[in-house]
Amino acid sequence: MVREHLLSADLADRVAGVFWSLADPTRARIVHALTLAELCNADIAELVGLTESAVSHQMRELRLLNIVSAQRHGRMVFYRLNDTHVRHIFDDTLRHVQEDLE
């Protein structure tokens, strides 16, 4: 039965990509910020202490993995989590980690 339901290599690679993106502390902080609000590049840079260029690089990685989406308003780019699944993954992981601290 397990063999019938085991993830394909391609699907396992995609799942691992999501966890890889959250494994980086900077991206984890960015994703957490985006669970709280839609933010522009400059706001994210200020919150996490990076240059806007560094944030753009991180956001590119998150967009490629379909974790965030971007919308341009003039010169500003606003980011938000792509869907509630990402929010749930992050929130569940955060609760799991916080339980170990209690």
Residue 100 pLDDT level (bands cut at 50, 70, 90): confident
Give me 67's structure tokens. 């974790």
What's the token pair of residue 83? 């869907």
pTM of the predicted protein model: 0.87
**Per-residue pLDDT band at 102 (split at 50, 70, 90):** confident
**8 Å CB contact between 68 and 80:** yes
Domain boundaries, the chain: 9-101
Distance (Å, rounded) from C-alpha 21 to C-alpha 85?
A: 14
Encode pLDDT of 16-75 as tens digits: 988 998 999 999 999 999 999 999 999 999 999 999 999 999 999 999 999 999 999 998
Class of domain 9-101: mainly alpha
